[in-house]
Amino acid sequence: MSTVSPCCAWEGADEAFDAAIDALLTAARTGTAHPCDARFGLRVTEILARAEERMRAA
């Protein structure tokens, strides 16, 4: 597990951050992209933004 950790008051934030760092290091070491990479995050953000727009229009 990573030793890098944010200063957060949110429950579970440190563990989530550590898991994300571990996944990033594994991807960098192996050259294999994680299924939840930046492209996936962008797509999720686009979907959420579109849903928010539709909710406002309704």
Alpha-helical regions (H) of 31-58: 38-57
5 within a domain of the structure (yes/no): no
33 within a domain of the structure (yes/no): yes
Going from the first residue of the chain to its last (58 residues), give the mean pLDDT of each consecutive group of 10, the final group possibly shorter: 56 86 93 89 95 94
Expressed as residue numbers, the domain containing 31 is 13-57
What contacts 32, CB < 8 A, 6 or more positions away? 26
42 within a domain of the structure (yes/no): yes
Tokens of 31: 């050259």
Give the pLDDT score at 8: 56
CA-CA-CA-CA torsion for 25, 40, 8, 18, nearest 10 degrees? -20
Residues 55, 52: Cα–Cα separation, whole Å: 5
Domain count within the chain? 1
3 within a domain of the structure (yes/no): no
Give the pLDDT score at 38: 86
Give the pLDDT score at 11: 80
Give the pLDDT score at 37: 85
> Token pair 């934030």 is at which residue?
13
2 within a domain of the structure (yes/no): no
20 within a domain of the structure (yes/no): yes
